[in-house]
Amino acid sequence: MKTLFVGNIAPGATENDIKDLFSAYGTVRKLEMPRDIFTGKCKGFAFVDMEGHEARAASAVLDGKFFMNNNLKVRDEKPKLKGKGRRR
């Protein structure tokens, strides 16, 4: 499983819009799209979980794609280390 960060999403985009866009490259296992608490509009980014090879294909094609008047930015979500300093 691979998580993709999708940035520069239009405020009017819905979860279905993003899911439909990524479904062309494989099964979307999970989609998180934070919304503004007051307006209910998309905050401009989302996280999409797909299988590794499907995620790589989607990222290769959709990064920079013009979608709903914005150029999407699709990147691999890097895992964050917990805690500070070096790992032992």
- What is the pLDDT, as a whole number, of residue 40? 86
Q: Strand, coil or helix: what is 65?
A: coil
Q: With contact defined as beta carbons under 8 Å apart, do 48 and 4 qualify?
A: yes
Distance CA 9, CA 42 (A): 8
Distance CA 6, CA 72 (A): 7
Classify residue 68 as exposed, middle or buried by CB count within 10 Å of its CB (0-12, 13-18, 19+). middle
How many structural domains are present in the chain?
1
Asked whether residue 88 is domain-assigned, the answer is: no
Asked whether residue 86 is domain-assigned, the answer is: no
Q: With contact defined as beta carbons under 8 Å apart, do 77 and 59 qualify?
A: no
Query: Domain of 65: which CATH number?
Result: 3.30.70.330
pTM: 0.83
Asked whether residue 15 is domain-assigned, the answer is: yes
Give per-10-residue mean pLDDT for the chain (88 aa): 94 92 95 91 93 94 93 81 58
